[in-house]
């Protein structure tokens, strides 16, 4: 049968995988698989594009994610290791269940907004009892009831977001440094004075975090990477946190007089989307999501990752062009060796 008919006839249903050698089978497990609007289970997802397409697919599944088979059709792809020229072969292998999976860890972020509410309490009235036993109330003054204003503070959940790359808290359009308090499991760690701060997954370590000076982390390492963006202190270096902790980034509380200043606000974004302005007291909590993204592996997890570093970043690749000059470089050098113009 043609591969198109096999694609329609066979369905992949096993979403169980490990990073150390699990295969994608076509035996239905009956649980843990996302469902479509019509009620059918999603067996696997095929993406045609670059890393941005994979990020978009990840945002569609906040919980369980089906296996993702990514074909490279973008400009730069760390997550798309399959060439589209051989898509028929890889789709056939995927249907037969002869593909390995790599679990890409994701983070679950919750954004909280700090609110002050003011209400009036009318508790100054007093009551008296008449001789016949009937009750009457009299105010504590001739001008009527006197109320007192009370202020209460609370945090309101704005939204929950699952990210595959990073969460960014930065200064936005302002030219000033921002102050961000960092907590780890409720323990104060430090106050960040920088253009912003990033919390990335190992998958996101080759994205915004790498451009900000962060370390490159293997995707099999279950950790969260904290990277400051242009920090005020040169000793503030990137940090790796274990996957069991909960990080919290909070905008410090400031006086009401400075509440409208640009220094007391930041912009937060999740995988470059869902941008919100954070004010004083607002915070975002970050912890590892229990639902990773299972990405189909072309060769092996490590081999695909190092190949993407070499192809995408030219990581530690010797520059052969510098060692062996080309013919056009020789012609260019010869043209410069000509006699200079007399008017110079």
26-40, 175-189, 265-279, 299-313: lowest mean pLDDT where? 26-40
**Among the listed ranges 108-122, 150-164, 255-269, which one has the minimum average pLDDT value?**
255-269
- Per-residue pLDDT at 114: 85
**How far lies 9's CA from each of 15, 23, 158, in Å?**
19, 20, 44
62-66, 75-79, 247-251: least confident range: 75-79
What is the per-residue pLDDT across 283-322, written as a single tens digit (0 to 9) for each? 999 999 999 999 999 988 899 999 888 888 888 877 654 4
d(CA 65, CA 99): 16
pLDDT at 34 exceeding the cut of 90: no
A 10 A CB-CB count for 17 gives: 22
- Per-residue pLDDT reduced to its tens digit, 219-278: 999 999 999 999 999 999 999 999 999 999 999 987 343 444 555 689 999 999 999 999
């Amino acid at each position: 049968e043609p591969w198109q008919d096999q694609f329609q006839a066979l369905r992949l249903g096993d979403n169980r995988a490990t990073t150390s050698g699990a295969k994608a089978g076509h035996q239905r497990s009956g649980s843990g698989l996302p469902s479509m609007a019509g009620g059918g289970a999603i067996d696997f997802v095929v993406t045609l594009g670059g890393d941005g397409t994979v990020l978009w697919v990840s945002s569609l599944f906040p919980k369980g994610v089906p296996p993702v088979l990514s074909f490279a059709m973008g400009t730069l792809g760390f997550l798309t290791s399959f060439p589209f020229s051989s898509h028929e072969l890889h789709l056939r292998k995927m249907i037969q269940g002869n593909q390995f999976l790599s679990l890409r860890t994701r983070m679950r972020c919750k954004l909280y907004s700090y609110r002050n509410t003011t209400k009036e309490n009318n508790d100054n009235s007093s009551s008296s009892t008449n001789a016949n036993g009937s009750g009457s109330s009299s105010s504590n003054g001739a001008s009527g009831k006197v109320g007192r204003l009370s202020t209460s503070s609370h945090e309101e959940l704005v939204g929950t977001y699952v990210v595959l790359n990073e969460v960014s808290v930065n200064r936005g359009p302002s030219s000033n440094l921002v102050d961000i308090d960092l907590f780890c499991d409720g323990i104060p760690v430090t106050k960040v004075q920088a253009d912003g701060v990033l919390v990335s997954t190992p998958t996101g370590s080759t994205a915004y975090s790498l451009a900000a000076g962060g370390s490159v982390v293997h995707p099999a390492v279950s950790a969260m990477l904290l990277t400051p963006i242009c920090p005020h202190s040169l000793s503030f270096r990137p940090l790796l946190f274990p996957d069991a902790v909960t990080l919290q980034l909070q905008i410090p509380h400031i006086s009401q007089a400075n509440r409208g200043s640009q220094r007391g606000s930041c912009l937060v974004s999740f995988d470059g989307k869902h941008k919100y302005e954070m004010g004083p007291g607002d915070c975002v909590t970050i912890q590892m999501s229990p639902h990773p993204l299972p990405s189909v592996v072309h060769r092996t997890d490590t081999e695909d990752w190092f190949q993407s570093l070499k192809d995408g970043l030219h990581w530690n690749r010797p520059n052969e062009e510098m060692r062996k000059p080309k013919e056009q470089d020789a012609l260019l050098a010869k043209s410069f060796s000509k006699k200079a113009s007399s008017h110079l």
